Amino acid sequence: MTKDILSLSVAELTARYRAKALSPVEVAQAHLDRAVAVEPTIAAFQLLTPDLALEQAEASRARWSEGRALGELDGVPVTIKDNLDVAGLPTRHGSLTTSDKPAQEDSPAVARLREAGVIILGKTTTPEFAWKGTTDSTLRGITRNPWNTNHSSGGSSGGGGAALAAGVGTLALGNDGGGSIRIPASFCGLFGIKPTFGRVPHRQYGLFCTIASNGPIARSVADAAAMLRVLARPDGRDYYAAPPPSAEWLTNLDSGIKGLKIAYSPALQGIEPDAHVARAIADAIALARDLGAYVEEIGPVIEPLRPTFKDHWKAGFGARLKDVPREQWDLVEPGFRKLAEEGLNISGEALHKAEVARAKLYETMAALHERFPILVTATTPHTAPAADVVYNGADYDRWDDAVPYTVPFNLTGQPAASLPCALSPEGLPIGLQVVGLRFADELVMQACQAFEMAIGPQAVLS
């Protein structure tokens, strides 16, 4: 019975609540028990919040029993990445340099979820200041992949991905500034979407605020859509927020992809994926053709981004390091500190060059999408690396190994999603990335729904 509860979708949970066949309190307790059981192995949580979860579950139980549920997320267990403020809980950002004092108010995404009646199970791990595509920190240690604990769960929303893959939470709230939702989704066999920048109100400041988006990690496209509909509701605190979508947004994702023109880039930026990753994506493309889509294989689409954007990346870290008192710099992870100190000396000319290049990159993608509304690539060139891999080191380069297929769409602000499409010969998940023009989130989700239904349960590649 507990296993059944842990695997229920959003729609299945609410149907059972409505029929009084299941209580949100039972559901919350089952997820908390599962978290306690798996946490020593995977280290997915910075903080578990059983008292808060059970309090919210009891309030949800009362609402359902009285016929006044708040909507489709009422009573749904959710985890929150620990770089987002939750009123009454500390926000540690994976760093020994941050305060353990509780936040005074919810961030916009958390506020929308609380208003929708979710059950907050806890705050999930992130690398220090969310700087990398794996999740480990001096504050919490290594977060491991439930598919194989010798491997990374990805990052920087790696705690949310690991928890969900291990059966903890129905939904995970993460954010993505270079692939930080899509990479954990890919490595952990889950669905995740980075919405169009501005689609989900957030509260971030500084150089990186225009490349990051909050969004869902889920076990299905339908579950993610339910969360995204809530997250996209307005919040006046966000200077960059787009007008909210219509009430019908994301409610009809079953239209299929027959006749849809899809561009397929086997090696985005000219960076070749591993052979088993390439084969998995090619198999998914064959399915798209079977579904009636018109698919054209195109080249690398864009030039390598490293020469132009490496300074942009470092400068953002330098700005973040300035917020840390100088006497605490020795507490900062060495890999981050090295890049951040280099970023302190980046010139305004270099940043201007990067911003011009961002606009030109979007022009390139906009021209592509005039011909092909959807672009498909692998999510990452490789499956999950070793859990203790040195990020941005000789064995796992940031630009060539971790984010070459994800980070372009942070720079352009486009919606991009990852869904599982196969398992490697070692039994590790492989992610398929689906990308659309800005504000074409619904079309991206529609295409992902079609792929998800056609792919079905993932088989191990021989």
Per residue in 373-414, pLDDT (tens digit) is 999 999 999 999 999 999 999 999 999 999 999 999 999 999
pLDDT for the residue numbered 27? 98
Quickly count: other Cβ atoms within 10 Å of residue 83's Cβ: 28
Tell me whether residue 227 is in a domain: yes
Cβ(462)–Cβ(423) under 8 Å? no
pLDDT for the residue numbered 207? 77
Q: Which structure tokens are listed for 343?
A: 């970023």
> Is 255 an active-site residue?
no
Tell me whether residue 218 is in a domain: yes
Residue 42, pLDDT above cutoff 60? yes
Q: Would you call 279 helix, strand, or coil by DSSP?
A: helix
Are 269 and 353 part of one and the same domain?
A: yes
Instruction: Give the residue-averaged pLDDT of 246-251.
Output: 95
| Distance in angstroms (rounded) separating the CA atoms of residues 192 and 307 | 28
> Is 180 an active-site residue?
yes
Tell me whether residue 243 is in a domain: no
Which of 23, 60, 81, 152 is catalytic? The answer is 81
Quickly count: other Cβ atoms within 10 Å of residue 82's Cβ: 30
Are 130 and 273 part of one and the same domain?
A: no
Which of 137, 180, 418, 424 is catalytic? The answer is 180
Torsion of the alpha carbons at 210, 211, 215 and 221, rounded to the nearest 10: 130
| Distance in angstroms (rounded) separating the CA atoms of residues 425 and 148 | 13
Residue entry with tokens 């891999």: 389
Instruction: Give the residue-averaged pLDDT of 196-202.
Output: 96
- Domain boundary among the residues 184, 211, 231 is at 231
List, in order, residues 6 or more apart from 369 with CB less than 8 Å away. 375, 436, 437, 440
In order of 34, 302, 437, the CA distances from 294 in angstroms are 44, 22, 18
Written as one letter, the residue type at 307 is P
What is the tens place of the pLDDT at every residue in 48-84? 999 999 999 999 999 999 999 999 999 999 999 999 9
Are 293 and 348 part of one and the same domain?
A: yes
User: Taking the alpha carbons of 298, 299, 300, 301 in that order, is the dihedral positive or negative?
Assistant: negative
Residue 142, pLDDT above cutoff 70? yes
Terminal alpha carbon distance of the chain: 34
| Distance in angstroms (rounded) separating the CA atoms of residues 47 and 61 | 24
Provide the CA 256 distance to its chain's centre, in angstroms.
24
User: Which of 366, 368, 377, 371 minimizes the C-alpha distance to 439?
Assistant: 366
> Is 156 an active-site residue?
yes
Q: Which structure tokens are listed for 226?
A: 């339910």
Tell me whether residue 311 is in a domain: no
Are 146 and 274 part of one and the same domain?
A: no
Instruction: Give the residue-averaged pLDDT of 243-267.
Output: 96
Are 270 and 142 part of one and the same domain?
A: no
Are 215 and 297 part of one and the same domain?
A: no
Written as one letter, the residue type at 18 is R
User: Which of 52, 151, 406 minimizes the C-alpha distance to 162?
Assistant: 151
Residue 40, pLDDT above cutoff 90? yes
183 phi and psi angles, rounded to 5 deg: -65, -50
Helix axes of 275-290 and 441-455: crossing angle, nearest 10 degrees: 100
The number of residues in the chain equals 462
Residue 119, pLDDT above cutoff 80? yes
Q: What angle do CA 79, 83, 86 make, to 5 degrees?
A: 60
Concatenated DSSP letters of 283-305: HHHHHHHHTT-EEEE----S--S
Please count the structural domains in the chain: 2
Q: Which structure tokens are listed for 276?
A: 């088993």
HSE of 406, CA atoms in CB hemisphere, 13 A: 37
| Distance in angstroms (rounded) separating the CA atoms of residues 159 and 144 | 8
Are 23 and 126 part of one and the same domain?
A: yes
Tell me whether residue 438 is in a domain: yes
Q: What is the CATH number of the domain that holds 140?
A: 3.90.1300.10
Instruction: Give the residue-averaged pLDDT of 425-452.
Output: 98
Tell me whether residue 447 is in a domain: yes
Are 47 and 186 part of one and the same domain?
A: yes
What is the tens place of the pLDDT at every residue in 325-364? 999 999 999 999 999 999 999 999 999 999 999 999 999 9
Are 356 and 216 part of one and the same domain?
A: no
Are 379 and 430 part of one and the same domain?
A: yes
What is the tens place of the pLDDT at every residue in 445-456? 999 999 999 999
**Among 33-37, 75-79, 154-158, 453-457, the least confident range:** 453-457
Are 74 and 215 part of one and the same domain?
A: yes
Provide the CA 153 distance to its chain's centre, in angstroms.
12
Tell me whether residue 318 is in a domain: no
pLDDT for the residue numbered 204? 82
| Distance in angstroms (rounded) separating the CA atoms of residues 35 and 47 | 11
Q: Which domain holds residue 103?
A: 2-231
Are 220 and 286 part of one and the same domain?
A: no
| Distance in angstroms (rounded) separating the CA atoms of residues 300 and 271 | 8
Quickly count: other Cβ atoms within 10 Å of residue 130's Cβ: 26
pLDDT for the residue numbered 460? 84
Angular region, 116: left φ>0, alpha ψ -120 to 50, beta rest = alpha
Which of 23, 95, 153, 156 is catalytic? The answer is 156
| Distance in angstroms (rounded) separating the CA atoms of residues 351 and 336 | 19
Tell me whether residue 325 is in a domain: no
| Distance in angstroms (rounded) separating the CA atoms of residues 173 and 196 | 16
| Distance in angstroms (rounded) separating the CA atoms of residues 420 and 430 | 6
pLDDT for the residue numbered 3? 58
Residue 462, pLDDT above cutoff 80? no
